Structure 1
Amino acid sequence: MTAPLDGVKVVDLATLFAGPLAAAFLGDFGADVIKVEHPAKPDPSRGHGPARDGVGLWWKVLGRNKRTVTLNLSDPDGAALLRRLLADADVLVENFRPGTLERWGLGPAELHAVNPRLVITRISGFGQVGPYARRPGFGTLAEAMSGFAAATGQPDGPPTLPPFGLADSVSALAAAYAVMLALRARDVTGAGQVVDLAIIEPIMAMLGPQVTWYDQLGYIQPRLGNRSNNNAPRNTYRCADGRWVAVSTSAQSIAERVLRLVGRGELIDEPWFATGSGRAAHADELDAAVSAWVSQRDRDEVVAAFEEAQAAVAPVYDVRDILADPQYAALGTVRTVPDEELGEVRMQNVPFRLTETPGEIRHAGRRHGQDTDTVFGALGLSAEELAALRERGGALMLLSWLYVPGDRPDRFAKAVASGADAVILDLEDAVVAGRKAYARDAVAEFLTEAHPVPVQVRVNELTGPDLDADLAAVADRPGVAGLRLPKVESAATLAALAERVDVPLHPLIESAAGLEAAYPIAAAHPAVASIGLGEADLRSDLGVSDDDGLLWARGRVVVAARAAGLAPPAMSVYADVVDLTGLAASCAAGRRLGFLGRAAIHPRQLPVIVDAFRPADREVARAAELLAAVADAHQRDSGTVVLPDGRFADRAMVAAARRVVDLAARYAA
């Protein structure tokens, strides 16, 4: 049977929770949903809540009916591959902080140039415009700001938040609805468009006429607990067996039936009983009447009596009751879904039924990156390219960084054009205390837009007085590609910072304490993109004066980075900008230890650094020879790779060869 959205291709870049759930709703009715996750940083929902045998259960629901691939969108190659994936897509769903896609060259203008029919669905806490647009936003904040929490809870208690993602779920339904409207409009116009959905809005739209009440009457809805100011009795009531029921009397006839049932029919004759608002004003008396009757009976007896009287009642269920209830069973509300990891798993079915084109949950959430080869292979990537993609994890391999003092804005543009692979604007060591505010303003102004090469910012110490001001100035700027973090000594402190910002983090090891914690720091949080050494401060802390004294420290950082799954680290700056021979020798020694690239403090150092770390012709030739042997083994359907000289090649050799070829191609010019 054909599903309503058969043939609709949806690319889901979103995480936690509104965007992924919106994409899941589309997948439930036939859309081909491709979930894109970072190679090293899966959707956090995979780790939320309870797990069975290490398999996250929330993801099984949220990832249903989706194919899963991995891609690093901050890498230009990864961004280019996403554009290929979107060339024939119908819908993109994303929930990055506004400006992030633009920073990666993936904004609506660039994507519509590739595919004018694409519907780009942008879900964020506060929308794409306005003074709060760049703030991090979550459903909890929307539940607070929408008026929901203020109107929820006991009259003498605090504002109350729901214990689940209410705002996210409402936003997911709204987003799926918006996508369908945009697709229908495309049928007429032939063009896609942008859906801008702020999570603070759909939940506010669900709260009824609160805005109109205030506009016309100055009325602010108070917290009423389980009661209503529109009618009574309306509440939850405890039964004799300790279980609960909920009663609603929105209709006058229902209210009369309830009062006759509980033996208080005389209240029906009171003048105030004739209106909902009149009954609400006497809620104490009505609740006491209902509660006294209910408390003397078990729940099943209460429900049966209400049903016989044709009065509205419902048992208060937990999930055990839901799974045993015959009405839910008749509707097929809970479905048993096949799963490759858990065998079978029960979850909520699609939320409504269509008689001719029903939806279906075909499978639960799949493993991280499970469909990468299939999806990208269909775009024409060869087996070798797919293997290289897996090995690199989509990580951009850079060889040279150029430091620029943050209080020298006259040098910023020159640094970007210097030929460096990336630029680091320094707000810490290179700026004296009296000029830090000026430097922040200058850097923030420069980062109002993205630049041709990645621009990172070195902020002040995590435990120092200037960090908060640094983050407020630059962390959410469209042009910032990452934060360099000096003097990091604690994985916990680093992880706490990662929860405050939405950019890649690059901690620097500059002390003995930091060196001791190198691996925990490297593995502290998915936002950690690399680690490195700050060798000047480290020399002082360790009491060593030459490179030999740092040999073991350098090796420790390389091992920590690789053990944590990060790219090889870059070397620290070489302070003597005149001694290029010494720089070349130092780079060569670092490369032998496993470093990849180096930071510079003057443009004249850049060619030396690139020459030192770029693969030599003989390395490229050997790597190409090895990869040719890999291709030959694939053709022969053999798992053994034999080189022309008779040596066997293992996986580590193949991975290293792919890195060499990739680097050579990147720096061929």
Structure 2
Amino acid sequence: MAVETNQTADGRLPLAGFVVIEAGSMIAASYCGQLLADFGATVIKVEAPKGRALDTLRQWGRKYKHGEGFLPSILNRNKQLVTLDMSVPEGARLFAELLKRADALVENFKPGILAAWGLGEAQLAALNDKLIHVAISGYGQTGPMANLAAFGAIAEAMGGMRALIGFEDRPPARLGVSIGDFLAGLYAAFGLTTSLLERQKSGKGQLVDVGIYEAVMGVMEDLLPVYTFFNAVRGPVGTGFDRLAPSNIYACRDGGWVLIAAPTDGPFRKLARRMGKPELLDDERFKTQSLRADHRAEIDAIVTQWTKTFDSGELVKLLRTDDIPAGKSYTAADIMVDEHIKAREMVIRAYDERTGEVPMQGVVPKLSRTPGRVSHAGGAVGRDTEAVYAQLLGLSAEEIAGLRSRGVI
């Protein structure tokens, strides 16, 4: 079924041979597709033809000389990039032909859009009853809010995350990355691979319905039982933990910041001795983990007074000598030169024909026998259109040229 590409020619890759059609825009669907492609799936990303509205992903971030930021280079890595206008009848028919040959469809259209193009659930099942349809949306495919417009930021707020970020005397803050979208993409990839396993038993595809706010709710720890049983609404706790201390970020002499996590008895004993303050171990305020949490501000102040006498790199080495969990708050500059990150191949470089090699995150997770890989970065809109339509659909050069002249691709 798969188009022969450098992603699928190597049978060691665990998802080799599976064909995924990715349609939509922004981050969530794109990240799902990236994860699948990293492990060998043939992911065909469908975008609007040139001259139409660009995927918002291609307008994201600081633009380089090719007119885009670098997020598309990362999220579209290992993929085949084609153009198609699915909103016109001829385009919808061509899209249907792709789906007949696919194992999965990943999309993040507003609910109802596919049905308006004649590709609702019943039609998709009639086309290909083995097709796994992954639908990502703000609020899910059902319920009273299903058809409302949403972005990841709104879903993060509804899922309870925004209320936990920041400080009590300030408005709820953003994490700094589009975490809701990335969580949704991760759950989508999990739902798709789970459905592939189930399909081996049933022979049938199914709908994988991912609401972004639900992906956020899925990682909200004990938020709901704490409210139910203690009538307590968790709020922001700044840089530390509500019930763990010392476990915070501490200022250093050079202006850097170091995370120290020593809330349990063993690490705290080591920290007290390393600070030259063994008397803290007999202090009634700090004798147990629970008591230290009750006096979080006091113990944090003591630790900060000590950390300010060190440069950040020096402090981390000192703490790690005693096996106290600690690390610098890394910037991109730190990540690029860290030897452990290098050894783990978590900074790699992939070729984008428009910019040359692009540094980016490596493949996660690391599989011992069938590891994923990155063969190339994302690229220009429609880079692989002719090859995909010729190989997968068997269209001739003349047919492809006709579709292009009519604005279908």
Same fold at TM > 0.5: yes
1:380 corresponds to 2:394:
yes
Number of the residue aligned with 1:34: 44
Number of the residue aligned with 1:315: 328
Number of the residue aligned with 2:35: 25
Alpha-carbon distance in 1 for matches of 2:263, 2:85: 53
Shift of 1:355: 1.1
Mapping 1:557-572, distance limit 5 Å: none
Alpha-carbon distance in 1 for matches of 2:67, 2:290: 51
Shift of 1:310: 1.7
Equivalent residue letter for 2:202: T
Pick from 202, 208, 212: which aligns with 2:221? 208
Equivalent residue letter for 2:253: A
Mapping 1:348-387, distance limit 5 Å: 348-378=361-391, 379-387=393-401
Percent of pairs with identical residues: 39
Question: Any conservation in 1 of the 2:85–2:408 contact (CA below 8 Å)?
Answer: yes
Can you list the C-alpha shifts for 1:234-266, whole angstroms capped at 9, x where unaligned? Answer: 111111111110111242211221122223322
Question: Any conservation in 2 of the 1:228–1:234 contact (CA below 8 Å)?
Answer: yes
TM-score by length of 1: 0.58
Number of the residue aligned with 1:514: none
Can you list the C-alpha shifts for 1:325-376, whole angstroms capped at 9, x where unaligned? Answer: 0010110001111221112111101112111111001110121111111111
1:231 corresponds to 2:244:
yes
Alpha-carbon distance in 1 for matches of 2:90, 2:175: 41
Number of the residue aligned with 1:344: 357
Number of the residue aligned with 1:187: 200
Question: Any conservation in 1 of the 2:347–2:360 contact (CA below 8 Å)?
Answer: yes
- SS of 1:102's equivalent in the other structure is helix
- SS of 1:362's equivalent in the other structure is coil
Q: 1:214 to 1:35 in 2, by over 3 A?
A: same
User: Max radius of gyration: which structure?
Assistant: 1
Question: Any conservation in 1 of the 2:81–2:385 contact (CA below 8 Å)?
Answer: yes
Question: Any conservation in 2 of the 1:67–1:366 contact (CA below 8 Å)?
Answer: no
Number of the residue aligned with 1:51: 63
Pick from 9, 13, 33: which aligns with 1:3? 13
Mapping 1:527-542, distance limit 5 Å: none
Alpha-carbon distance in 2 for matches of 1:380, 1:355: 37
Alpha-carbon distance in 2 for matches of 1:119, 1:347: 29
Gaps of 5+ in 2: 1-9
Shift of 1:158: 1.6
Mapping 1:128-167, distance limit 5 Å: 128-167=141-180
Can you list the C-alpha shifts for 1:41-96, whole angstroms capped at 9, x where unaligned? Answer: 23221121112212421110111111011111111111111111111200100111
Equivalent residue letter for 2:103: D
Question: Any conservation in 1 of the 2:138–2:151 contact (CA below 8 Å)?
Answer: yes
1:126 corresponds to 2:136:
no
Alpha-carbon distance in 2 for matches of 1:5, 1:273: 51
Mapping 1:354-433, distance limit 5 Å: 354-378=367-391, 379-394=393-408
Number of the residue aligned with 1:415: none
Q: 1:274 to 1:171 in 2, by over 3 A?
A: farther
1:246 corresponds to 2:256:
no
Alpha-carbon distance in 2 for matches of 1:267, 1:371: 65
Shift of 1:272: 4.2
Gaps of 5+ in 1: 396-669
Runs of 4+ with deviation above 3 angstroms: none
Question: Any conservation in 1 of the 2:66–2:355 contact (CA below 8 Å)?
Answer: no
Mapping 1:463-478, distance limit 5 Å: none
Number of the residue aligned with 1:284: 297
Question: Any conservation in 1 of the 2:66–2:354 contact (CA below 8 Å)?
Answer: no
Alpha-carbon distance in 1 for matches of 2:112, 2:286: 56
Number of the residue aligned with 2:123: 110
**Range 141-150 or range 194-203, more displaced:** 141-150
Question: Any conservation in 2 of the 1:144–1:161 contact (CA below 8 Å)?
Answer: no
Equivalent residue letter for 1:16: M
- SS of 1:314's equivalent in the other structure is strand
Question: Any conservation in 2 of the 1:21–1:62 contact (CA below 8 Å)?
Answer: yes
TM-score by length of 2: 0.94
Number of the residue aligned with 2:24: 14
Question: Any conservation in 1 of the 2:34–2:79 contact (CA below 8 Å)?
Answer: yes
Alpha-carbon distance in 1 for matches of 2:165, 2:314: 30
1 or 2 for the larger relative contact order (CA 8 Å, sep ≥6)? 2
1:304 corresponds to 2:314:
no
